[in-house]
């Protein structure tokens, strides 16, 4: 089963909330309250997203966060990678050495499945996610 970690799930929720309110500067407490993510956990996520160039942080009294890139260029894949989400579906697709790889029946199938999964995450951009939420029939 493929399952996102709490950090990956929270990062997606937070970044979608920020994208939906773009280009406003959003305060962390508003994201926390709006998405049910603890502020301390959110601060760690925001630091990773800032370091990856996905978010811009603004300090000071009227500070907060905002997107550093267009929602049309940010994919689910980008966001999950920025927060170090494990995207490999099995050990052999995570580039972990396996001495049985050359004899394995499933290596090729699972490798192709991993490529498909990554492609799917890459085509889902923030703008599409936000639009789908606003108009579910599209």
pLDDT, tens digit, for every residue of 4-57? 899 999 999 999 999 999 899 999 999 999 999 999 999 999 999 999 999 999
Q: What domains are there in the chain, each with its CATH number?
A: 6-87+125-134 (1.10.10.10)
What are the phi and psi torsion angles at 66 (to 5°)? -150, 165
- CA-to-CA distance for 53 and 89, rounded, in angstroms? 26
pLDDT, tens digit, for every residue of 92-109? 777 667 777 778 888 888
The H or E element containing residue 64 is: strand 64-67
DSSP, res 39: H
**What angle is formed at CA 60 by the lines to CA 59 and CA 62, rounded to 5 degrees?**
105
Helix %, strand %, coil % of the chain (to 5): 55, 10, 40
Predicted confidence at residue 138, as pLDDT, reads 60
pLDDT above 70: residue 122: yes
The H or E element containing residue 94 is: none
pLDDT, tens digit, for every residue of 48-61? 999 999 999 999 88
- CA-to-CA distance for 45 and 10, rounded, in angstroms? 8
DSSP, res 65: E
Q: Kindly provide the b/e burial profile for residues 1-14, where b requires at least 16 CB atoms within 10 angstroms of the residue's own CB.
A: eeebeebbbbbbbb
């Amino acid at each position: 089963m493929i399952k996102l970690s709490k950090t990956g799930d929270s990062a997606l929720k937070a970044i979608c909330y920020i994208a939906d309110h773009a280009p406003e500067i959003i305060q962390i407490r508003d994201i926390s309250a709006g998405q049910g993510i603890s502020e301390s956990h959110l601060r760690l996520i925001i630091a990773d997203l800032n370091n990856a160039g996905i978010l811009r942080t603004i300090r000071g009294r009227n500070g907060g966060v905002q997107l550093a890139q267009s929602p049309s260029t940010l994919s689910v894949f980008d966001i999950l990678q920025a927060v170090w989400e494990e995207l490999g579906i099995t050990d052999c697709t995570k580039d972990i050495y396996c001495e049985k790889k050359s004899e394995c029946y499933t290596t090729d199938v699972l490798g192709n499945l991993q490529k498909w999964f990554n492609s799917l995450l890459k085509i889902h951009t923030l703008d599409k996610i936000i639009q789908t939420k606003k108009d579910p029939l599209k």
